[in-house]
Chain A
C-alpha cells in the first residue's frame, strides 16, 4: 500500500493508528465529500475526501510532521486514501447504490456517482479527457467551496494587565478571532492577517468590519485602524477604565466580545472596616439581664480592602495614585477601582470611633444595612472581639461551651443536648432570641428545662406557650425532669375562677407558667402585665402567620429571654422564618416588606444563591437545628427512642367517655362471671374508641376535624414528619378507625396514604409496601396492628405512631420493629399516643413505672382488667379532671 511506504516521511509515526481512526470518524460523522481526480494517463477515479468541520481541523494539522507543503501533501494523500477506504467500506456494509442500473451509455456524472459506491473507484476509459477535466474542475471548485470554515467568526478583545506594576504601565487589548460555532476556537488576529488561521478569507472581512465598528463604538481603541495588520493596542490605565466601564455592553450588542481578566467580575472596592469590642470574651462571664440587640457598643472605622486593614504605606501609595487620577490601583496584588471623592471620604472616616447598637453592628457584619456611613462607602467587614465576634463568625454552635447536666435536673443530658443548653444560655444571657429547631425526638423540651435550671442569672417566671395538644406533655416532662419547679397551668375554663389569688400574683410566684396559643390571644391583657424572665414558644410554627391574633398577642409579651422550639426546618420557609425571628429578635430581619423584597422574592422566585447565603449568615447564629441523621448526633442516640404523647380529650370526647364509664360500671355491678368479663372488655374497647375519636365511637360518619385531641396531635406529628421529608408508619388496632382515617388524611395532607388491613389481598399488600419503600412513594402508611404484625419490611420509615394502645408491649414492639429492622441505619422515633386522664394514661403509667409488674400482669393482654373489682375498675377507667377546651 502506498500509505505504509509514506509513514515516517511526512506523517508523524505515532499517528499511524490514529489515521485509521480519524478516517473512520470522518466517514461515520459524514465529514466527507465526493471528489474526482484524473491521473497522468487520462483516466479518472472518484474519491471520498475528508471535509472536517472547524472543530476537527486541529486533528488534521496534527497529522503533519511540520507545516511544510511537502508534509501537508503527504498527510493529505494518506488521509484521503484512508477516508476513501473507510467510506466505501461503510457504504458497502449498508448496501448503498447511488444509481439504478441502466443499460446504455452513461454520462460522466452518472458514472462518477456510480463509482462512488462501487468497490472499483475507476471510471471507464471511454470518456473524453477534455470533458473529464472540465468536470474535474467543476467538482474541485465545489469541494474547495466547502473546505474553508464557512461558519461565522467574530472579533474578541482580550484585556491583559500590564506585566509590570508601575503607575505608567500600559494595559493591552489583544485582538482575537473566534469561531462563533466553535467558541473554543480562538486565534490571534495576527494569524488571520498572516493567512495562518483556520478560517477562510471571509474572516478577514468580518475582522475588518468589526474593527470599523470598534473604532466607532470605542474611540479609545480607534488607533488600531492605523496599522496594516493590527494585533493589539495599548491603553493607559485611565483609558482602560473608561473602556471597561462604558463599552462592554455596547460592543457586545455589536457582536464583539470582550474577554476580561478573571478578577474583573470580582473586583473589590476600598471601604471601611468596623472594629467593635464587646466587653467580655465569653458568654459565661456575661452577667445580669443580658445585653440585647439594643445594647450600645462602641467601634472604630478603619480603611480596608475586604477584611484586610490598609497599612499607612498602602494608604500613602493609594493617595499618590488617586492624585495621579489613576482609576485602577494594584493593592496587595489585586486591582481595585478607586475614585478621589470616595477615597477622601474613606480617609476622613478612618480612625474615627462611633457607637451603635448590637443589632446594627450585627446587621452590618452580615451584609445588611446597619451602620450609618457616607454615601457610596461600603462596610467591607466587621471585626469584633468577644461574644459579638462569636456571633459574627457564624461558628457559634460549635464554639459555645456545653453546659453539663444541672444538678437539679433529674436525668442525664446527651452531649449534643449539653451543647444545645450552652447555646440557649449564651444567647439568653445576651438577651438574644434563640430558635431551637432540632429534629423531633432529640429532646427539645429536655434541653429547655435544663436551661431553666442552669441559668442562674434568670430569676423569675418562664411563660411557655404551646398548642393545647402538648400542654399535658409539658406538665409531665416538667414533673419528670424538674419536679422542684413550681408550675402553673393557665388552662381550662376555670383558669381564673378556681384560684383565690390573682393570676398575676400566681404567675410571679411560679417558675413556669404553661398556657396555649389560643389562650395567649384571649388572655393577653393578663399575660402582658407580667414581665417574664423567659418566653418559650413551643411548636413555634403556630406563629408562622404574622397577621393572626395569636402571633400578634405573642409579639406583645414582655420577656428578657426568648426561645422558640420547632421541629420543622424553619430556615426553608421564609415567611415562617421572618415571623418567628420577628418575635425572637425584632428588627434583625427588618420589616416584613423589606424582607420579602430582599430575601423572599430573590430566593423563592429567582433562586438567587447569594441572597440565600446572606440570609443563612444572618440567621445562623440564632437557629440551631440538628438532625437525627447527623453523624455527630446519631452517635449519641439509641436506635429507638420512645416518646409517650399525652393528648387531651375534647369536651365532646370527655362527655362520651364519662357516659361509657358510667354505663360500664353499672353493668359490671349487675353482672357476673363470663358475661361481666365480656361486658368489661367491650366497654374497654368503646373507651378506646372514644379516645380515638367521637366519630369512631359513634360510627355516624360525622366530620373528623377538631373533635379529637389525639387526632389533632397525630396530625401535628405527621405534618412535621412529612415536612422534614421523613416517612411514618401509623398503627391502629381498629380497622374501622383506619377506614375513616385513610381517606381523611389523603384529603388533609394531599398525598397518597397507604392503608393496610387484614382485607388487603397479598398482591396489593406487596405493591403498597414496595411503593412506601420507594423514596418518592407516599410518606404516610396506615396499618392495622393485626395485619401489620408480621412479615413486613418497612425500613423507609423513621417514625412510628401508635394511634391507640394495645396494652401489650410485645405486640407494640413487634409492630414498631417493622420500621426498626436490620437495614435500618437511621434512628427510629416511636410516638405512643395516650389520652390524658383516661384508662389509656393509667395503664401506660403502670407499664412504664412498674415495668416488672406490668410485664407479669399486663403481659398477657387485657384480660387482667376484667378480673378487677368494680371499685378498682372504676379507679382505673374513671376520667380525671383534665379536659382540653381549645
Chain B
C-alpha cells in the first residue's frame, strides 16, 4: 500500500478491483470481438479510433462481467450506471446530435417511400441504405469519429474515455446487435414513430375523418370491405362453433377488463354468462 498513491510516478493508481454485481448487464458475447453487426461495429471502431490502450481491454472486461448496471437509451443520450471499485456506481452519459425536425421530415419521407426500412428493422437488421438516407439529409446515423460523441463519467479518472465509458459503449453495441431499433431511438425516432405511418395507412386511408361504425365492428372505418372472395370460409353452409374454443374465448381475445363490481372481477362473472350461452338447451 505504501508508496502507491498520488505521488507514485510509476503507477499513479492502484489497480482498482471493481465490486462484483448481481444483476449487471453482462454482454451476450463473452469472447472475441464485441460487436457482431456492421452497425454496432461502427461504435466499437469509433471507440478504438481514439486509442485507449489498456482501458480498452478493461472496459471490455467490465462489459463482459456485467459491471454496467443499467443503460437507458434516450433521444441523443445514453445514461448508464457502471459498478466500479466504489460502492456507488459511476454514472456515464454519452450525448450525440439528433437530426433537426427539418432533417427528420426529409428522412421520414424516404422511410415511407419504401417498405425496406421498416421491414429490415423489424427483421432485426439496420438497412445499409439507412446511413445514406441520413447522409442525404446531412444528418448522422452512426458515429464516424470519437469526437462526435460527448461522453462523460463521474469516476475519478481524468482520462476520457475511461474504462467505464468504454464498457458502456461495448454494452450498447452488444444491445444494438439484437435490437436495431435502439439506434433510431437514440437518434430520436421510436419504433412506433417509424411504424405508425404504415399502420395508419393499413388501418384505413381516412381513419381520422370517418366515424367509427361500432366499437365491435371488425372492419374499421373505411370505404371498402374485404371482398367475400378474399374471405373464403372453409364451411360456408352449416355454422358450428369451433369446439376447441372455450366458451369465454372472446374474453381472452380482448385486453384485460379492469372492472370490479361488488369486489369480484367482472370477467369472472361474465364467464358464467358465456358458459350458459354455450350450454345446450337440453342440458338446462
Complex CA–CA separation, A139 to B267 (angstroms): 12
Q: Let me know if A144 is at the binding interface, CB within 8 A.
A: yes
Complex CA–CA separation, A96 to B271 (angstroms): 11
Interface membership of chain B positions 214-240, coded 1 if the CB is closer than 8 angstroms to chain A and 0 otherwise: 111111111111101011111000011
Complex CA–CA separation, A58 to B235 (angstroms): 12
A229 and B115 contacting across the interface, CB-CB below 8 Å: yes
A-B contact sample (15 more), CB < 8 A, given A113-B270, A146-B253, A191-B226 = A32-B277, A35-B216, A61-B219, A73-B213, A91-B273, A110-B261, A140-B215, A146-B255, A149-B218, A185-B233, A187-B230, A201-B202, A204-B195, A208-B198, A212-B118
Give the distance to chain A from B283, nearest Cβ to Cβ, in Å: 9
B205 and A76 contacting across the interface, CB-CB below 8 Å: no
Q: Let me know if B19 is at the binding interface, CB within 8 A.
A: no
Residue of A nearest to B122 (CB): A209
Known: A146-B253, A185-B231. A117 touches B202 (CB 8 A): no
Contacts of A284 in B (CB 8 A): none
B113 and A228 contacting across the interface, CB-CB below 8 Å: yes
Q: Let me know if B269 is at the binding interface, CB within 8 A.
A: yes
Known: A185-B231, A215-B119. A90 touches B217 (CB 8 A): no
Q: Let me know if A60 is at the binding interface, CB within 8 A.
A: yes
B223 and A68 contacting across the interface, CB-CB below 8 Å: yes
Task: Indicate which residue in B120, B203, B228, B247 contacts A200 across the interface (CB closer than 8 Å).
Answer: B203
The 9 closest A-B pairs by CB, nearest first: A212-B123, A29-B241, A146-B254, A225-B116, A209-B122, A58-B231, A212-B119, A109-B261, A94-B276
Contacts of A193 in B (CB 8 A): 201-202
Task: Indicate which residue in B123, B220, B225, B255 contacts A216 across the interface (CB closer than 8 Å).
Answer: B123
Complex CA–CA separation, A196 to B218 (angstroms): 11
Q: Let me know if B87 is at the binding interface, CB within 8 A.
A: no
Complex CA–CA separation, A96 to B272 (angstroms): 8
Interface residues of A in 138-190 (CB under 8 A from B): 138-150, 182, 184-188
Task: Indicate which residue in B204, B253, B258 contacts A51 across the interface (CB closer than 8 Å).
Answer: B253
Complex CA–CA separation, A49 to B125 (angstroms): 42
A213 and B123 contacting across the interface, CB-CB below 8 Å: yes
Interface residues of A in 90-144 (CB under 8 A from B): 90-91, 93-96, 98-100, 102, 107, 109-110, 112-113, 116-117, 138-144
Complex CA–CA separation, A147 to B278 (angstroms): 20
Residue of B nearest to A213 (CB): B123
A195 and B203 contacting across the interface, CB-CB below 8 Å: yes
Complex CA–CA separation, A188 to B284 (angstroms): 46
B114 and A109 contacting across the interface, CB-CB below 8 Å: no
B226 and A49 contacting across the interface, CB-CB below 8 Å: no
B269 and A98 contacting across the interface, CB-CB below 8 Å: yes
A212 and B112 contacting across the interface, CB-CB below 8 Å: no
**Interface size on A (CB < 8 Å)?**
97
Complex CA–CA separation, A85 to B215 (angstroms): 18
Complex CA–CA separation, A866 to B225 (angstroms): 102
Q: Let me know if A52 is at the binding interface, CB within 8 A.
A: yes
Interface residues of B in 238-268 (CB under 8 A from A): 239-242, 245, 247-250, 253-255, 257-262, 266
Contacts of B203 in A (CB 8 A): 195, 200-201
Give the distance to chain B from A726, nearest Cβ to Cβ, in Å: 42
B198 and A204 contacting across the interface, CB-CB below 8 Å: yes
Q: Which residues of B contact A (CB under 8 A)?
A: 112-116, 118-125, 195, 198-199, 201-205, 207, 210-226, 228, 230-234, 239-242, 245, 247-250, 253-255, 257-262, 266, 269-270, 272-274, 276-279, 281, 284
A209 and B112 contacting across the interface, CB-CB below 8 Å: no
A203 and B202 contacting across the interface, CB-CB below 8 Å: yes
B218 and A60 contacting across the interface, CB-CB below 8 Å: yes
Known: A144-B215, A215-B119. A99 touches B250 (CB 8 A): no
Residue among B121, B216, B270 with the most chain A CB within 10 A? Answer: B216
Residue of A nearest to B220 (CB): A195
Known: A55-B233, A109-B259, A110-B262. A205 touches B122 (CB 8 A): yes
Q: Let me know if A473 is at the binding interface, CB within 8 A.
A: no
Known: A50-B216, A184-B233, A212-B119. A28 touches B277 (CB 8 A): yes
Complex CA–CA separation, A203 to B220 (angstroms): 14
A69 and B210 contacting across the interface, CB-CB below 8 Å: yes
Complex CA–CA separation, A141 to B255 (angstroms): 9
Interface residues of A in 12-46 (CB under 8 A from B): 25, 27-35
Complex CA–CA separation, A116 to B247 (angstroms): 17
A49 and B219 contacting across the interface, CB-CB below 8 Å: no
Known: A73-B213, A196-B224, A226-B116. A147 touches B241 (CB 8 A): no
A selection of 27 A-B contacts at a CB cut-off of 8 Å is A29-B239, A29-B240, A30-B250, A34-B270, A55-B234, A61-B219, A67-B223, A69-B210, A72-B217, A94-B276, A98-B272, A98-B273, A113-B266, A113-B269, A144-B212, A147-B218, A150-B253, A185-B232, A195-B204, A195-B207, A204-B202, A208-B119, A212-B120, A212-B125, A215-B116, A225-B114, A225-B120
Task: Indicate which residue in B113, B125, B259 contacts A138 across the interface (CB closer than 8 Å).
Answer: B259
Contacts of B115 in A (CB 8 A): 208, 211, 224-225, 227-230
Known: A61-B231, A143-B216. A209 touches B119 (CB 8 A): yes
A99 and B269 contacting across the interface, CB-CB below 8 Å: yes
B122 and A198 contacting across the interface, CB-CB below 8 Å: no
Residue of A nearest to B259 (CB): A109
Residue of B nearest to A187 (CB): B230
Q: Let me know if A413 is at the binding interface, CB within 8 A.
A: no
Q: Let me know if A53 is at the binding interface, CB within 8 A.
A: yes
Contacts of A215 in B (CB 8 A): 116, 119-120, 123
Residue of A nearest to B260 (CB): A109
A142 and B217 contacting across the interface, CB-CB below 8 Å: no
Contacts of B120 in A (CB 8 A): 212, 215-216, 225
Give the distance to chain B from A109, nearest Cβ to Cβ, in Å: 4
Q: Let me know if A739 is at the binding interface, CB within 8 A.
A: no
A148 and B123 contacting across the interface, CB-CB below 8 Å: no
Residue among A68, A95, A205, A227 with the most chain B CB within 10 A? Answer: A205
Interface membership of chain A positions 353-384, coded 1 if the CB is closer than 8 angstroms to chain B and 0 otherwise: 00000000000000000000000000000000
Residue of B nearest to A145 (CB): B255
A28 and B250 contacting across the interface, CB-CB below 8 Å: no
Contacts of B258 in A (CB 8 A): 138
A53 and B242 contacting across the interface, CB-CB below 8 Å: yes
Known: A201-B202, A208-B119. A184 touches B278 (CB 8 A): no
Complex CA–CA separation, A99 to B273 (angstroms): 11
Q: Let me know if A192 is at the binding interface, CB within 8 A.
A: yes
Complex CA–CA separation, A30 to B276 (angstroms): 9
Residue of A nearest to B269 (CB): A98
Residue of B nearest to A72 (CB): B213
Give the distance to chain B from A217, nearest Cβ to Cβ, in Å: 9
Task: Indicate which residue in B228, B249, B260 contacts A30 across the interface (CB closer than 8 Å).
Answer: B249
Known: A30-B278, A107-B261, A192-B202. A147 touches B233 (CB 8 A): no
Task: Indicate which residue in A52, A73, A210 contacts B218 across the interface (CB closer than 8 Å).
Answer: A52
Complex CA–CA separation, A205 to B272 (angstroms): 36
Task: Indicate which residue in A53, A93, A148, A191 contacts B230 across the interface (CB closer than 8 Å).
Answer: A191
B199 and A30 contacting across the interface, CB-CB below 8 Å: no
Contacts of B215 in A (CB 8 A): 35, 49, 139-141, 143-144, 147
Complex CA–CA separation, A64 to B210 (angstroms): 17
B114 and A227 contacting across the interface, CB-CB below 8 Å: yes
Residue among A34, A116, A149, A210 with the most chain B CB within 10 A? Answer: A34
Q: Let me know if A197 is at the binding interface, CB within 8 A.
A: yes
Q: Let me know if A57 is at the binding interface, CB within 8 A.
A: yes
Q: Let me know if A62 is at the binding interface, CB within 8 A.
A: yes
Complex CA–CA separation, A266 to B215 (angstroms): 49
